[in-house]
């Protein structure tokens, strides 16, 4: 019995088969390789240790073995390129849903799972897509969650801004149960977006960034203002001193609760 003894999913696309690695460079790379194999689509690739785990914006993803979840799934989604942002929202909602079964978490734009209310990071999502003008051809959805990695054991530079689901739940969580819930939720989310149901409303409801004062690194500069909304194209709408700005991507470097006028 391993922590990953999870349900078979013969009728589902996400998580149809599970591939476990004690150590791998990056689960995202393996999931992409699997897309070239017959039956490789949707296989869940899980690793205890990644030697070259990637985060967003060129960062590395650190996670010790035996305590967390590093998962990737490769898909050929039926999705227009203009709707590619929905994959990230769908993955974020699936992670949010799976974590919320254990402790309250929210989403920080664009797709971090964070503690409610202190905003420490529980997990992150890296989506790597191949697109043409019209369609998303391939997408690798990578999800990293801090599950039983106690905050007190994290390196100092992480421990100030990160936490784990176990810290929030007040005790260890069953990693197989989290993975089970995550794969089912991700499958449901992918079915929904492929059927034309935008995740926007549910993403907005789960996103604790809205209504906050934010400072966001975007392109060469920083945008400051109040996060107002998620536009129907997935962009974050920020009310700045110069008017509303739409951000399709970026990184929040500062976030605080807006002071009522």
What residues make contact with ligand BTN under the rule CB under 6 A? 26-28, 50, 53-56, 59, 61, 70-72, 112, 124-126, 142-144
Could you tell me the smallest distance in angstroms from the CB atom of residue 2 to ligand BTN?
18
Could you tell me the smallest distance in angstroms from the CB atom of residue 144 to ligand BTN?
3
Nearer to ligand BTN, 60 or 257 (CB): 60
205 within 8 A of 113, measured Cβ to Cβ: no
Nearer to ligand BTN, 103 or 122 (CB): 122
Nearer to ligand BTN, 42 or 53 (CB): 53
Q: How far apart are CA 121 and CA 154, in angstroms?
A: 12
Q: How far apart are CA 55 and CA 93, in angstroms?
A: 18
Could you tell me the smallest distance in angstroms from the CB atom of residue 61 to ligand BTN?
4
Nearer to ligand BTN, 53 or 225 (CB): 53
Could you tell me the smallest distance in angstroms from the CB atom of residue 97 to ligand BTN?
18
162 within 8 A of 152, measured Cβ to Cβ: no
Q: Which residue is nearest to ligand BTN (CB)?
A: 124
Could you tell me the smallest distance in angstroms from the CB atom of residue 90 to ligand BTN?
15
Nearer to ligand BTN, 29 or 243 (CB): 29
């Amino acid at each position: 019995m391993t922590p990953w003894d999870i349900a078979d999913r013969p009728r589902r696309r996400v998580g149809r088969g599970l591939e476990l690695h004690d150590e791998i460079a990056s689960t995202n790379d393996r999931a992409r390789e699997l897309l070239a194999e017959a039956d490789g689509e949707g296989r869940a690739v899980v690793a205890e240790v990644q030697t070259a785990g990637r985060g967003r914006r060129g960062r590395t993803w650190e996670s010790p073995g035996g305590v967390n979840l590093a998962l990737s799934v490769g898909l050929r989604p039926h999705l227009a390129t203009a709707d590619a942002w929905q994959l990230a929202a769908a993955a974020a909602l699936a992670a949010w849903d799976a974590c919320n079964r254990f402790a309250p978490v929210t989403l920080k734009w664009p797709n971090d799972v964070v503690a409610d209310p202190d905003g420490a990071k529980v997990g992150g999502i890296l989506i790597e897509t191949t697109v043409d003008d019209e369609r998303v051809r391939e997408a690798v959805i990578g999800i990293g969650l801090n599950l039983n990695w106690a905050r007190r054991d994290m390196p100092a530079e992480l421990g100030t801004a990160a936490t784990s689901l176990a810290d929030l739940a007040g005790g260890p969580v069953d990693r197989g149960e989290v993975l089970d819930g995550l794969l089912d939720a991700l499958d449901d989310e992918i079915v929904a977006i492929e059927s034309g149901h935008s995740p926007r409303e549910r993403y907005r409801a789960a996103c604790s960034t809205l209504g906050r004062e934010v400072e966001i690194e975007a392109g060469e500069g920083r945008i400051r203002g109040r996060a107002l909304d998620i536009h129907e194209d997935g962009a974050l709408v920020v009310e700045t001193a110069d008017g509303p700005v739409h951000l399709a991507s970026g990184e929040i470097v500062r976030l605080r609760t807006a002071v009522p006028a």
